Chains A and B, each alone.
Chain A
Amino acid sequence: MRRYVLGTFALLASTGFILSSCGGSSSAQTPFERLGGEQGIRKVVSDAVPCLATDPNIGVFFRGLSADSLERIQLCLTKQLCAAAGGPCTYPTTITYTSPVDGVQRTYTCRPMRASHQGMLGPGGKGIANGDLDSFKACVQKSMQQNGVPSDLQQAVLNILESQRNDVVDDRNK
């Protein structure tokens, strides 16, 4: 594990992504801390966006998001992972964010997964399918790999996403 971190450190140094800080054993740290806090999570989320938006299966779900909406959804996913990974966040939550469009501060309520996912149309008119969540997880995993997240930590994040399958996958596909 330590060798892995060291091995990838040089590669990652240029990205500015700081892996779980050098002091302390990883087992004592929460996944949240090991991911680099909210900033580290946000980086993983942001780096997954190009994959998500161009994915042949799930890209369509992101086509109707304006730049402002895309910022919101990334912040909400970050908050959610923060909460589930043992960080100091609650979810659902109301966030205050600076819009990338006009720099104005706005508030937005990050809704529970069920409310924000059920009833989409998607390519087939029946919303999110089981395979769509797999595609989503694959994009997040790819981003974690790019960011040098250790494989056990990757698995922890993927497990969080997997735990939401029932809320995220459309009831019509069950």
Chain B
Amino acid sequence: MRKTALSLMLVFGLSSLTFAEMMHKEKTLYQRLGGYDAISAVVKDLAVRLVTDKQLGIYFKGLSNDSKNKLIAHLTDFVCSATGGPCIYTGRDMKTAHEGLGISDSDWNRFVELTKETLNKFRVPPKEQQEFLQAVAPLKSVIVEKK
């Protein structure tokens, strides 16, 4: 009897704690951005900007439609995963995928600008925009080769 009561207390205690945690825990960036479909739309919009950009477009001129689709699929998985979503990125690590391209600081800054344009278009709030860009920022050191 006593043992049962203790067990019950434990169970309730634990479950209420979990519940409280769930209530106070902030949603992931993935959820706040609107989940997979929203991220997919954001990536596609950004991809069009990149491919048609005067400065960065040069890196995409030799990609077939199939290659561009693969890139978009990889990028979607990457962003989904990096923002706390339920995706697994199976592409190459960022260093391997970019080394040899000779990407400059200026290229990186242009990429950030285009990303902001996309996030603005989708009316992503400033807080989420900042978190998104913070999540991307550490990649600069492995992607940029030229100062």
Contacts and interface: CB of A to CB of B under 8 A. Distances in A.
Nearest to B93: A102
A118 to B, nearest CB: 6
Nearest to B58: A63
Main secondary structure of the interface of A (DSSP, over half): loop
Contact of B96 (A65, A68, A119): A68
B134 interface: no
A68 B92 CA distance: 10
Nearest to A61: B62
B32 interface: no
A123 interface: yes
A121 B65 CA distance: 9
Contacts of A101: 95-96, 99-100
Interface stretch (A17-25, A109-117, A144-152): A109-117
B101 A64 contact: yes
A57 interface: no
B61 A102 contact: no
Contacts of A65: 62, 100-101
A11 interface: no
Interface in B38-90: 51, 57-68
A17 B121 CA distance: 57
Contact of B64 (A62, A106, A120): A120
Contact of B62 (A99, A102, A104, A120): A120
Nearest to B59: A64
Contacts of A66: 96-101
Most buried by A among B58, B59, B62, B98: B62
Given A106-B92, A121-B51, A64 B63 contact: yes
A36 interface: no
Contacts of B60: 64, 121
B58 A60 contact: yes
Interface of B: 51, 57-68, 92-93, 95-101
Given A102-B95, A122-B62, 19 more contacts: A60-B58, A60-B62, A63-B58, A63-B59, A64-B62, A64-B101, A67-B100, A69-B97, A99-B96, A102-B96, A104-B96, A115-B64, A115-B66, A116-B66, A118-B66, A120-B64, A121-B57, A121-B61, A123-B61
Closest 7 A/B residue pairs (Cβ): A119-B65, A67-B100, A61-B62, A64-B59, A115-B66, A121-B61, A66-B100
